[in-house]
Amino acid sequence: MFWMSYGNSKLATVLSFLGSLIVVSGVYYGTSTGDFVPMLIIAVVGVGVMLCGKLVSDNKTKKQAQEAAQAQLSGQAPSPMPAQEIPAAPQAETVCPQCGASLPAEASFCPHCGNRMGTDA
């Protein structure tokens, strides 16, 4: 048969089925009577109804895609610029008076020699 089943729209499926019935009845009428002009008119009307079903299905598919995109965007804040990594500020350093190792300024002990910072060796 000529009709298509559109899972997203019952109306589109019904229009497609109805259009194919109109086409078949037009062809049957034309072949049984020998009058091909009404057959052609009926067939064109049937194809037009089938195309209306296709348009209904396409519009519903587009609407569903737009709603899905809108829902996805509403969950996220739009980012006008990509995030850029900000370099960390250089940490103040100090030197261990016992072994000479470089240490962060807030270190209490030297991790190399164990010297307690703030006291001289």
The answer as to whether 78 is a domain residue is no
Whether residue 67 sits in one domain with residue 108? no
**Total structural domains in the chain?**
2
99 shares a domain with 49: no
Confidence band for 8, pLDDT divided at 50, 70 and 90: low
Contacts 24+ apart (CB under 8 A), 43-49: 46/19, 46/20, 46/21, 46/22, 47/19, 47/23, 48/19, 49/15, 49/18, 49/19, 49/22
**Do residues 14 and 58 both lie within one domain?**
yes
105 and 68 within one domain: no
State whether 21 and 58 are in the same domain: yes
Question: Is residue 96 assigned to a domain?
Answer: yes
27-45 confidence digits (pLDDT tens): 888 888 888 788 788 878 8
Going by pLDDT thresholds of 50, 70 and 90, the confidence category of residue 24 is confident
Containing structural domain, residue 66: 10-73
